[in-house]
Structure 1
Amino acid sequence: MQFHPHTVQLSTGSALGPVRLAASPAGLCGVWFEGQCHEPAERLYGVRAWPQAPAHPVLRAAALQLQQYLTGQRSTFVDLPLDLSGGTAFQQSVWRGLLAIGHGATTSYGALSRQLGCPRAVRALGAAVGRNPLSVVVPCHRVVGTDGSLTGYAGGLDRKRALLTLENAPLCARTPLAAATQGIQ
């Protein structure tokens, strides 16, 4: 991932744990649960970290909307400029495709790849979904396995389950863990 050199960040708490938000001059470019896979740790923590900007208007709006979303007071994110430019052209197309999945709905990786016109690129699409830098706001948690099972989420399957439950989205009883342990006494 490439980020603008003038990116700033904000740390905030949430119902699902600490979150780091990042904004470039073009808009919101990152939402990561602390410690999640693929977060740009070197830019979020330590000596090379982006500066904290608690008064930044995009970060303040994103933090407020995220809090409202996670407490069920809002179902969409509005008027937040998004900066998806840190990804490849393919990743950006996948992330824009994720934005079309409505609140409370789910789709499979295969269905999303067909919808985006790349039916043979399911694995590449899955990798792009996993590298989504805007967790929750760009709803990668709404992508499930073909059988409806909860698969892969950079923020953890517990958070994915919580987000889908919050949205009243249909959940499959056969999660990967349940399927793997089925028949074991």
Structure 2
Amino acid sequence: MLTILLYFSNLLFYAQGACFHCLSPDSHLKPTLRRQLKTQTDVFFWQIGTQWNACSEKVNPMIPSIEGQICSKYQMCVTLQPNIPNSTFVVRGCLESVLRYSWREDERLHKEGCYMIRSLPMYPNEQPMDYIICVCAGDYCNRDEAVNYVSGPYNYDRDTILQLSPNNDVYYEGNGRIQLAVSSASLVDKAFIFIYSTLLFVFLK
């Protein structure tokens, strides 16, 4: 019976999709950059408790120290980094858990590829910060190392999304991954809860 319960638990896990989940340590960052990353409120969520020294490197799925994250709404993974030279700061995770509302609901970012968006400064003495966001679809597809710095000149406003190409020296997420099936997460959740409750009742009876 326990085997059956584990089977349905795994079924729910893969139906919803999963991504690698980590945040690069900030101890090596300059104080000004660290403050700007932590105080921004318009691009991404600061992931608490997921710091990993190798987050900016290509992820080896055989390393047990890297965490996984189940996606609840969008079956898409994200790799985010500030567009600054020699940056080793990277955030990985599900699209809805990394990006803030205004960006995760933007359908322009629901397509696989790499994009650049702009964050407005929190304080008057700071400059706007540009972020590179690589989006992919597929279980644990956000495994690639941090992309290269994209040099200017480029000019765009807060609501503009620049789609990057290989000519920008930005690596597109590779092809050939297993694509997630499109399904309703709410229906999957309800079906799993019903089956799980029924089996648990029979098991404990």
Q: TM-score range by the shorter chain?
A: under 0.3
Name whichever structure is richer in helix by fraction: 1
> Larger relative CO (CA 8 A, sep 6+): 1 or 2?
2
Larger radius of gyration: 2
Structure-2-length-normalised TM-score: 0.24
Name whichever structure is richer in strand by fraction: 2
